[in-house]
C-alpha cells in the first residue's frame, strides 16, 4: 500500500511540474504588423498545415534589430536565424527602419487571437516562450544612428477635454458630470457592434482610461518628433508598455468586461498604427507583444540598450596620440622641403658663379669640325 501511494504521489508531482513548465513556456503571443503600402514581412500561406515554431524573447529582439536595418546579434543561433527568415522578407536593403513596439502586460493572448480586429487578424502571429530568459536586450549601435522614443511617460494632467477629444477620435462620446470633475461616462462603439462604457467614478475604469490617454498623448508627441528627426536620424524605434487591461481584470475578472476593454485597446492601436503609417509614409512595422505574467514582475521583457562607447579618457588619449603622429609627419615633410630648397639654392648659386666667371674664348671643341673615325 505504501509503495502504491508513493507511486501516485510521484506521478502527481511530475504532472504538476509538467503543467507548470507548459504554463511557463507559453508566455504569450507577438504580432508583426506589416506596412499598408509596402511588404516587409512574409505572408503565411493558407495551405501550410505545420504549426510554426514559437520564438524566444531574444529572437523577437533580433527581429526588431533587423527591421531597424541593423545586423542581428552575433549570439543568435542557427534556429533563431531560420525563424527570422520565416518572418522577414529576405531583401536586406529594403527595411522599414522604423518600428512601433508595444508590450501589453497582464492579459490573455487568446483575447487577441479570437478578436474581430482586422489589423490583428491579418498580422503575422507567433507564440513566444520565455524559457530561461527573464528579459531580452535589443542592442542599438549609437544614439545618433537610432532614435528611441518611449511611450511610457505618464499623463496625469488630463481633463474632461482630453477625454472628449479621445472619444471623438474613436467615434464615441463622453458625457461629463458638471458637479464632479473627471466623473463622467465614456461610450465608444466597436467594429463588432459592441459598445464599451467606462465610468470615471470607478477606479478600474478610470485607471484603464488614464493608461489609454497616456498612450495617445505620447503617440502624438512621437509623431511630432518624427517630423524633426526625418532628416537627421536614419532609424527610429518607438517603444512602450501598457498595463491598463490588468486593472480591469483585477476588478471584473478575466471574462466579461475585460474583453470589451481589450477590444477598445485593439481599436485604439489600429488607429494609432494607421496614423503612424501616414506620418512615416508606409516605412514602419508594428511589433505588439501580449503576455500574462512576466518572469520578472518589474520592468519590461524587451529592453533597449546602446552598445558601450569609448570613455572620454580613451577619446583624449586617442586624440593626443593622433596629434603626435601628425606633428611627426609634418616635421619630416618640412625638413625634407627645407633641405631640398637649400640644395637647389646652392646649386643655383654655383651655376651662376661659374657662368659669370667663364672665360670669353671660343670653345675649340664646340666650333671645330670634329670628325669621328
Same domain, 295 and 323: no
CB-CB contact of 175 with 184 (8 Å): yes
Same domain, 113 and 228: yes
Q: Is residue 328 part of a domain?
A: yes
pLDDT value, residue 14 = 47
Q: Is residue 367 part of a domain?
A: no
Same domain, 258 and 320: no
pLDDT value, residue 134 = 79
Range of the domain at 137: 22-44+51-156+204-309
pLDDT value, residue 315 = 45
Q: How many CB atoms are closer than 10 A to CB 271?
A: 15
Domains of the chain: total: 2
3-state secondary structure of 171: coil
Domain-ending residue, one of 254, 279, 309: 309
pLDDT value, residue 314 = 45
pLDDT value, residue 317 = 47
Domain-ending residue, one of 309, 327, 361: 309
Q: Which residues pair with 238 in a beta bridge?
A: 100, 149
Domain-ending residue, one of 309, 332, 365: 309
Same domain, 344 and 210: no
pLDDT value, residue 318 = 47
pLDDT value, residue 188 = 94
Same domain, 147 and 112: yes
Q: Is residue 143 part of a domain?
A: yes
pLDDT value, residue 255 = 66
Same domain, 94 and 220: yes
Same domain, 40 and 135: yes
Q: Which of the 8 DSSP states describes residue 117?
A: -
Complete DSSP assignment for 24-72: HH--EEEEEE--SSS--B----TT--SPPPPEEHHHHHHHHHHHTTPPP
**Nearest 5°: phi and psi at 16?**
-65, -40
- The model's pLDDT over 8-56, given as tens digits with 9 standing for 90+, comes to 444 444 444 444 444 444 578 999 999 989 999 988 665 555 567 789 9
Q: Is residue 173 part of a domain?
A: no
Question: Which residues of the chain fall short of a pLDDT of 70?
Answer: 1-26, 44-51, 230-233, 254-257, 294-298, 308-326, 358-373
Q: Is residue 136 part of a domain?
A: yes
pTM, two decimal places: 0.74
Amino acid at each position: 500500500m505504501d509503495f502504491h501511494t508513493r507511486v501516485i504521489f510521484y506521478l502527481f508531482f511530475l504532472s504538476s511540474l509538467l503543467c507548470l513548465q507548459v504554463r511557463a513556456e507559453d508566455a504569450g503571443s507577438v504580432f508583426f504588423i506589416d506596412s499598408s503600402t509596402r511588404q516587409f514581412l512574409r505572408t503565411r500561406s493558407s495551405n501550410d498545415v505545420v504549426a510554426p515554431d514559437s520564438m524566444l524573447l531574444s529572437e523577437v529582439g533580433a527581429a526588431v534589430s533587423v527591421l531597424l536595418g541593423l545586423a542581428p546579434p552575433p549570439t543568435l543561433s542557427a534556429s533563431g536565424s531560420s525563424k527570422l527568415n520565416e518572418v522577414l522578407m529576405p531583401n536586406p536593403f529594403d527595411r522599414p527602419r522604423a518600428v512601433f513596439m508595444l508590450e501589453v502586460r497582464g492579459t490573455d493572448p487568446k483575447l487577441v487571437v479570437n478578436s474581430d480586429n482586422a489589423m490583428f487578424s491579418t498580422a503575422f502571429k507567433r507564440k513566444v516562450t520565455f524559457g530561461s530568459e527573464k528579459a531580452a536586450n535589443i542592442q542599438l549601435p549609437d544614439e545618433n544612428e537610432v532614435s528611441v522614443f518611449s511611450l511610457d511617460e505618464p499623463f496625469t494632467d488630463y481633463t474632461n477635454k482630453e477625454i472628449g477629444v479621445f472619444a471623438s477620435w474613436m467615434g464615441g462620446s463622453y458625457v461629463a458630470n458638471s458637479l464632479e470633475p473627471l466623473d463622467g461616462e465614456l461610450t465608444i462603439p466597436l467594429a463588432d457592434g459592441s459598445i464599451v462604457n467606462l465610468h470615471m467614478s470607478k477606479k478600474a475604469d478610470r485607471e484603464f482610461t488614464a493608461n489609454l490617454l497616456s498612450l495617445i498623448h505620447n503617440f502624438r508627441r512621437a509623431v511630432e518628433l518624427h517630423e524633426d528627426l526625418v532628416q537627421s536620424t536614419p532609424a527610429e524605434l518607438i517603444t512602450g508598455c501598457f498595463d491598463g487591461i490588468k486593472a480591469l481584470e483585477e476588478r471584473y475578472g478575466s471574462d466579461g468586461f475585460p474583453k470589451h476593454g481589450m477590444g477598445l485597446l485593439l481599436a485604439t492601436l489600429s488607429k494609432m498604427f494607421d496614423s503612424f503609417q501616414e506620418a512615416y509614409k508606409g516605412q514602419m512595422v508594428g511589433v505588439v507583444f501580449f503576455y500574462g505574467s512576466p518572469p520578472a514582475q518589474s520592468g519590461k521583457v524587451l529592453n533597449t540598450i546602446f552598445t558601450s562607447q569609448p570613455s572620454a579618457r580613451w577619446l583624449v588619449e586617442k586624440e593626443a596620440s593622433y596629434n603626435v603622429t601628425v606633428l611627426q609627419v609634418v616635421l619630416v615633410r618640412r625638413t625634407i622641403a627645407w633641405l631640398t630648397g637649400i640644395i637647389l639654392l646652392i646649386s643655383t648659386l654655383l651655376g651662376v658663379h661659374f657662368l659669370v666667371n667663364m672665360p670669353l674664348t671660343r670653345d675649340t671643341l664646340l666650333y671645330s669640325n670634329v670628325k669621328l673615325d
